[in-house]
Structure formats: C-alpha cells, structure tokens
C-alpha cells in the first residue's frame, strides 16, 4: 500500500510541475456580447469591411462597396447593440466621405482597411489616384479629418497598421501576378511630410516572396515583428528586425490555411486569411478567415484563429458562422442584438480588456466578442529575448551590458522579480529615443537580449529598464550607460 501511495504522490508532483505549461492554454469559450443592429438608430447603413477600436465600446466602422468603391466612416462610443452611433446614416445610400484640410480635398474610395490608435486617430488605406493614407480622428460626436495624409505611390494599397511608436505599415500590390510589398513610414510626430508635402520616403520596403494580394498586416508594439497575410497563397509571413535596420523573413513561423469546408449543399468553399491583429500584452496573433466576397453559402464559413506568434500554430478558434447558426438556426439571420448572422469576418480588432471586435461585411454590423476564461500570455521567443536558466531572482535588476564598449552588438541582461510589464528603451547621449528593445509582459525570471548597433554612429548610449508589476505593487526603473565604438 505504501508503494501505491508513493506512486500517486509522485504522479501528483509531476502533474503540479507541468501546470505552468497549461497556463498558456485557452481555458474558456467565445460568445458574442452584442452586435450593432442593422436598423436605426444604430445601424452602419452599408457593408462593413473593417473596424478600428479606440477603447472598449468605442470604435470606428469602415464601409465598403464592391460595385462603386464608396466608403465612409461611422463612429461609435459607449456602444451596445442599440446605442452608441455618432450621427445619422441613412440605410443603403452608398455615400462617399471626404478627407479635407484647407483646400486639400480627397474622396474616400476603394478603402478596405483602417487602423486605430489609442489617441483616437484613424488611418485609412485609401485608393485615390495617389494612394493616400488618410488620417481622421474620432472626436466627441463624429469622425473628423486631420491635417495628416501621405501618398504611397501609384500601386494599389490594402492593409494598414500602426505600431506603438506611431510608425505606419501598409501593404502595396500591382495585382495578383506580382509580389506584394510592405512600405514602412515614420510616425506623424517624426515626419513633417504627414502635414506638409505628403510625400515621405519609406523607412524601409519589404518585398514578399510570393505573388498575391496581402489583405492583413499586424506588428508587435515596437515593430520588431511584422505579420502579413496573403489571401492568394493562404499564407501568413513573419518578418523580424526593425524599421531602421530592415527586416528578414523568419522561416520558423509557418501558417497556411488548410480549411477545406463544404456548404450544406455540398459546394466546396475556398476561404483565405484576411485581416490580422496582434494582442501585444498577450502575444497572441489573431487572423480573420473568410470566403472572398461570397454571399449565400459563403455565410456558412467564418472564423478567427488565435495563433502562437513564434510558430504559427493554432491555439484557439472562434467559429463565427457556427455560433450564429447555434443561436438562430440559420446562417443568414439574427436574434436581437446578440447574433449578427451573415458571417463575413474580414477583419478583427481588440480593446484594452481583450474583447474582440469582428465586423460582418454582409451583416452590416460590428460584433463584440467576450472570452469566458483568462487569455494566456505567450512568451515571445523570436525577438531575441532569451530566458536564462537558474533560480528565480529575489529582486529586480539591470546588469551592465557585455561587452562594453561594443561593436556592433552587445548583450543586455536583467532580472524580473514578479510578473510585470517590462520595457527596455535605448536613448542617445542627449536623451533622444533610439529604439524599443522590449515591451511586453514577462514572468519572473532572468532574461537577456541582444542590441544591434550596426546602423548607429559611435558614441555614448543609455538603456533604460522599467518593470511595472501586474499585482500593482511598486515598480522598478534603472538606467545604465554603454559605449558603441566603431
């Protein structure tokens, strides 16, 4: 009997040792909290192809007409199914919105993507003749123009995103027979062209390895990782690097949509990956998957996958089409304000509390989805951050970089006492911001990261380490000096 008890105890100990691994698993289910009704006084009034979230229940919907190219923006604040819309939008008018600054007037046309930032700015990838990225702002009662826009050239643009430093990324394509590109532009704060000549030079350009149209793009907060979806090849590509040094295709990330669904009538459906969104503090990549502007049986497929950001493996699935069917008994119906039906989820966004916002293009709605459990935090391993083996530290600490002086790279090591939001920033000798090395939630442990100074001039630099514990206890900040000597 003692041997049996001993075996059970060993099993329980081994089980407890493995518990941390399971902490990275999804432990709940998704459900639709509300869907904006397709009727007055809260309707969008037309097809909705994208949504940009400012904060919980405050967002901007982008309408899109495949026939006329008509676009306009609809703002919502303190939204639910029947409340929150700013202004009045008649049903099915197909109106065009204009971006205006002084005598500068551009009509929104052919825009299929937008990006929202916490300061209420809305970046729209517009397909006017100069392919401008137009910048609007969500005010207290409407969506208004700003003075900011930039021309990207003559090729069509599709997806746009903005990282935590305000740097803008946009996908560009000539057609399905040519490889798409990613153009990276400096922020409004650092490039006067946004409000001046409107013709900045990209910080860097990335050419994708395959032909096709890239309909989604996402980055982590410091822009050290870019994800971009190719609808034609059904792939998502991952690039690592930075806006200043450039990017390299990371082949360790692999995602190809292999779904081969059939409609209830037996017709084969052919979905692909559309919009992307990266949940920074959780390191979860979201990909919206849908059929290509397909009505009818096309509503029978619509999913959001949550991916591991390092490998591309699927961690969880939000099946919009199935959820709608389970609620209404139909793929093209709705029940009150909790199911929009007509699954056509071309894009996905999230708020500060990790609720998801999914637009239904043919349902003419924005849907808010809630997770019943706690979203896991996935360690980000492809950005150069290494977790070092050893004992859990008994205090926060920032070590001196090694080697120092260095040329061209050096290693910065640090200790995290408890789960915290960790930030490491690089500054030059006069205090000007140079680069974000780390900006993510990290568990207690010892870490190191490599800093590359190839693109920088010789001189003195400073690196600042900040940790803000998740439990609300006192944070930690320390700064050290390093010397780049070429």
SS3 (DSSP) at 234:
coil
CB 242, CB 435: distance < 8 Å: yes
Q: Sign of the CA dihedral 86, 89, 94, 99? A: negative
d(CA 222, CA 318): 27
CB 42, CB 61: distance < 8 Å: no
The tens digit of pLDDT for each residue in 167-221 reads: 999 999 987 788 999 999 999 999 999 999 999 999 999 999 999 999 999 999 8
The tens digit of pLDDT for each residue in 99-142 reads: 999 999 999 999 999 999 999 999 999 999 999 999 999 999 99
Categorize the per-residue pLDDT at 482 as very low, low, confident or very high, splitting at 50, 70 and 90. very high
Segment holding 17, helix H or strand E: helix 2-22
CB 241, CB 224: distance < 8 Å: yes
CATH match of 386-484 with 2.60.40.2550: yes
Give residue 20's pLDDT: 37
Tokens, residue 301: 């497929």
The tens digit of pLDDT for each residue in 303-360 reads: 999 999 999 999 999 999 999 999 999 999 887 777 778 999 999 999 999 999 999 9
Closest to 121 (Cα-Cα) out of 190, 184, 193, 189: 189
SS3 (DSSP) at 246:
strand
Burial class (CB in 10 A: 0-12, 13-18, 19+), 382: middle
The tens digit of pLDDT for each residue in 62-85 reads: 999 877 778 999 999 999 999 999
27-371 architecture in CATH? 6 Propeller (2.120)
Give residue 24's pLDDT: 60
Predicted TM-score of the model (pTM):
0.81
Q: Sign of the CA dihedral 192, 197, 201, 206? A: positive
For the chain, give every residue range classified as CATH 2.60.40.2550.
386-484
For the chain, give every residue range classified as CATH 2.120.10.30.
27-371
3-state helix, strand, coil in the chain (%, to 5): 10, 45, 45
d(CA 166, CA 389): 35
Q: How many CA atoms lie within 13 A of 328 on its CB side?
A: 22
Give residue 349's pLDDT: 98
């Amino acid at each position: 009997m003692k041997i049996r008890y001993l075996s059970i105890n060993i099993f329980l100990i081994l089980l407890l040792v493995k518990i941390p691994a399971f902490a990275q698993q999804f432990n709940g289910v998704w459900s639709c909290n509300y869907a904006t009704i397709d009727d007055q006084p809260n309707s969008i009034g037309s097809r909705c192809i994208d949504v940009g979230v400012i904060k919980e229940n405050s967002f901007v919907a982008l309408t899109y007409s495949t026939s006329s190219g008509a676009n306009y923006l609809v703002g919502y604040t303190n939204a639910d199914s029947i409340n929150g819309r700013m202004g009045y939008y008649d049903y099915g008018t197909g109106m065009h919105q204009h971006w205006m600054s002084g005598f500068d007037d551009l009509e929104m046309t052919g825009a299929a993507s937008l990006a929202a930032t916490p300061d209420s700015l809305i970046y729209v990838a517009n397909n006017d003749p100069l392919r401008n990225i137009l910048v609007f702002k969500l005010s207290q009662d409407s969506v208004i123009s700003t003075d900011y826009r930039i021309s990207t050239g003559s090729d069509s643009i599709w997806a746009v995103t903005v990282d935590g430093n305000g740097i803008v990324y946009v996908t560009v394509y000539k057609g399905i027979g040519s490889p798409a590109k990613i153009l990276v532009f400096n922020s409004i704060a650092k490039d006067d062209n946004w409000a001046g000549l409107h013709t900045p030079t990209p910080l860097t350009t990335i050419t994708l390895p395959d032909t096709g149209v890239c309909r989604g793009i996402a980055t982590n907060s410091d822009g050290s990782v870019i994800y971009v979806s190719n609808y034609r090849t059904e792939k998502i590509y991952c690039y690592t690097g930075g806006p200043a040094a450039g990017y390299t295709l990371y082949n360790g990330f692999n995602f190809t949509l292999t779904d081969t669904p059939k409609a209830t009538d037996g017709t084969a459906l052919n979905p692909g990956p559309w919009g992307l969104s990266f949940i920074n503090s959780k390191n979860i990549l979201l990909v919206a998957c849908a059929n290509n502007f397909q009505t009818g049986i096309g509503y029978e497929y619509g999913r959001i996958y949550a991916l591991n950001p390092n490998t591309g493996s699927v961690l969880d699935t939000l099946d919009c089409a199935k959820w709608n069917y389970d609620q209404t008994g139909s793929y093209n119906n709705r029940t009150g304000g909790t199911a929009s039906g007509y699954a056509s989820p071309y894009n996905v966004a999230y708020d500060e509390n990790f609720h998801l916002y999914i637009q239904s293009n043919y349902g003419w709605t924005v849907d808010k989805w809630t997770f019943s459990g706690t979203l896991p935090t996935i360690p980000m391993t492809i950005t150069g951050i290494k977790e070092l083996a050893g004992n859990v530290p008994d205090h926060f600490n920032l070590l001196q970089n090694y080697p120092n002086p260095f040329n061209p790279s050096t290693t910065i090591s640090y200790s995290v006492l408890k789960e915290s939001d960790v930030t490491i920033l690089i500054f030059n000798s006069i205090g000007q911001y140079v680069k974000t090395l780390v900006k993510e939630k990290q568990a207690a442990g010892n870490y190191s990261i490599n800093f590359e100074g190839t693109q920088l001039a010789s001189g003195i630099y400073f690196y600042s380490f900040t940790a803000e514990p998740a439990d609300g206890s006192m944070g930690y900040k320390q700064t050290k000096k390093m010397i780049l000597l070429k």
